[in-house]
Structure 1
Amino acid sequence: MNRETLKAWVQASRPPFFVATLIPLTAGAVLAHRQDSFEVLPFALVLVASFLVHFATNISNDYFDHMQGTDAGESIGGSRVLQEGKITLTELGKAIILLYTVAALIGFYLVWTLKLWAILPLMALAFFSSLFYVAPPVRYGYHGLGELFVAINMGPVMVMGSNWVLLGRVDWSALPVSLPIGLMVALILYYQSLPDMETDEAAGKRTLAVRLGKRGARTVLAVFWTSIYASIAALTLAGYFSPIAWCTLLTLPLLIKVWRLVVSIRNWVELDFHGKYIRIFYFINGLILIAALF
């Protein structure tokens, strides 16, 4: 593989978004560590399998959105490797199969060796959500359900799944902890859909933002932020997080900056240039919440 090919696959993987997988898995591991139940190898395998699924999800979105024509024309969605001719559709399809296969083998290895048969439905949900976000016949992302599934998978499924593998049993106390994490990842997806509202609607992709329209989309953005901070505050007061979690309030200036952009920019395509602020918001708050679990 030459350097240009490698760069193309890195572009397809969309590395800035991998933090969305790292934070919830680490939170689950920290919760297990608090009960003196942490082993490096199982956690490393969980990380590898989850990152492979995340990679597969990203390129599956590229593959099926391209087939649907959603990423054509003036659309700015996806990694653009297909539109720029850096990777062929056939190569992308083979990579999707390979990534899911390797991730499944790692998952089944953990289930077999740790006797975690009861976790199989959770794995099945993760696979279903990963592939059928834009893949037919389900394509739930085209029906305004993307944020809901992302919140569930990147919150409860990942936090509790990681914790379950390390503990060897379900710990329901991990569920509340996962909620603000899931909401923050859903916020990333939601914000990323704002610049593509017009092209998504034209292609028949009825995302939540498209269904709401600009005014409604702004309102739901504020609801997301309020829900995130409210859940963190409630969980801190309830003792799930240590007082360190109050440091998440330090990220308010980031949201104020984004809000001003959303209100002032007339052409929302330009919001794509500012998505880094939402990812930074998530990364900083994720690290604070992990620290608040120790």
Structure 2
Amino acid sequence: MTLNKEILSGWVELSGFPKFTTTLLPFVLGAVLAWSEGFEFDGAVFAVSLLAVFLLTEFCFVLNACSVYADLKERGVKFDREEGGQVRGEGEEEETSSFHSTAASGRFDALVKGRISVQQASRGAYLCVLAGFPLGVVLHFWFKTGPLTLPLGILGVLIPYSYSRGPRLSYHGLGELGLTAGVGWLTVFSGYYLQSHEVSWLPTVVALPWLVDVFKLKLTRELPDFECDLAINRRTLAIRLGKARTARLYFPLTVCSWLAFLPLLFLDGVPRVGLVLLAAPVFFTAKSLVALRKLDWRSNGVGERKGKGEREGEREREGEKEREGEKEREGEREREEVERGLRAVTRGAFTGMTLIPAVLIGIFALKIVL
């Protein structure tokens, strides 16, 4: 019984349930959008499909965490058992960020302390897919939700699987696009389609600000995971572009996300008073933008990690251990300051992004009521 409790607690920790809002809320948005267009509310379909989305989200998060952890172990990266599975490389003070809520740099504590193994967690992830398959069959054949029901479900499995296994999109600079397509578009479109049984451009138009923000947040969250991704040769867009260039994309992507709300003004029946709710995500996004601009991207604390041989060469050229130690301590302080800043940025960005579908749900719910 104790062993089962340990495995269950490890599974819950790997799942990262608060982040399920990134799939469940946009799915609900799609459904509410369909109801606001006059399609009948189907409670049974909504409940079954929401459960299916939950299971696929479990599959996505757990499988990705297992894949990254296994790659880190394979490359001999050490983990600090006392600090939540923080990654440490041999001879290094710190090989990755301590921002543990991201997929690449965190949620490893359960694996490090042996509460659940990679094999057990991976099997559980695949069991979630098996449990979701009959739900898709029921939706397609029993509730007759439309010919795209099963293809959409299969796509919902292939995207997260391809993200960290198989083609390993996240290792080749394509993970950002895959995640944007899955979380940013597929969730909203599926929620709409399963209630309306029709293909429409409307869910795509409404999802545009959410879609852009998903891509932006993915890039932003790769910044604190920069060293971790380097350690496993995960060639994310942030790795390819560098930290400074990635950070500079935040502002234009934010502007694009805000501009993507404009089509709401031209949709029939959208209550103008409801648009006031958009101030909530805009506030938190602006807050994260201010925090990002305060970071000094010229300091060593945010620069790309140097190779071990290069660092040793610099130490030889400096020739003074005392000066070298002081320089390292100064660099460590800079890194800690930047990591604190990045936590503030990602907190604000994540909150702002999550509020987008929540606020849109409120706007289209008002359309139904009014």
For residues 128-154 of structure 1, the C-alpha deviation after alignment (integer angstroms, 9 at most, x for no partner) is 111111113x01111222222222212
Matched, 1:285 2:356: yes
Specify which of 213, 228, 236 is matched with residue 242 of structure 2.
Answer: 213
Specify which of 49, 59, 62 is matched with residue 56 of structure 1.
Answer: 59
| Aligned residue runs from structure 1 range 242-253, under 5 A | 242-243=271-272, 244-253=274-283
Counterpart AA for 2:160: S
| Aligned residue runs from structure 1 range 111-126, under 5 A | 111-115=140-144, 116-126=146-156
Deviation at 1:246, TM superposition (A): 4.5
Give me the whole-angstrom Cα distance separating, in 1, the residues matched to 2:266 and 2:259: 12
Specify which of 12, 17, 22 is matched with residue 19 of structure 2.
Answer: 17
| 1:18 counterpart SS class | helix
Q: Judging changes above 3 Å, is the alpha-carbon distance between structure 1 residues 84 and 227 closer, same or farther for their aligned structure 2 residues?
A: farther
Specify the alignment match of 1:128 in structure 2.
158
Specify the alignment match of 1:43 in structure 2.
46
Deviation at 1:54, TM superposition (A): 0.6
Give me the whole-angstrom Cα distance separating, in 2, the residues matched to 1:159 and 1:251: 18
Deviation at 1:210, TM superposition (A): 1.3
Higher Cα Rg, which structure: 2
* Structure 1, unpaired ranges of 5+: none
| Aligned residue runs from structure 1 range 1-294, under 5 A | 2=2, 4-34=6-36, 35-69=38-72, 72-73=87-88, 74-75=95-96, 76=100, 77-80=105-108, 81-115=110-144, 116-136=146-166, 138-232=167-261, 234-239=262-267, 241-243=270-272, 244-265=274-295, 266=301, 267=335, 268-271=338-341, 273-274=343-344, 275-293=346-364, 294=367
Q: Please, what is the CA RMSD of the aligned residues? A: 2.3
TM-score (normalizing by structure 1): 0.90
Native 8 Å contact 1:194 1:271 kept in 2: no
| 1:37 counterpart SS class | coil
| 1:91 counterpart SS class | helix
TM-score (normalizing by structure 2): 0.72
Deviation at 1:48, TM superposition (A): 0.7
Give me the whole-angstrom Cα distance separating, in 2, the residues matched to 1:251 and 1:32: 23
Native 8 Å contact 2:281 2:351 kept in 1: no
Give me the whole-angstrom Cα distance separating, in 2, the residues matched to 1:57 and 1:114: 26
**What is the aligned length?**
292
Q: Which moved more, 1:46-55 or 1:29-38?
A: 29-38
| 1:85 counterpart SS class | coil
Native 8 Å contact 2:226 2:238 kept in 1: yes
Q: Which moved more, 1:155-164 or 1:239-248?
A: 239-248
Identical pairs, percent: 25
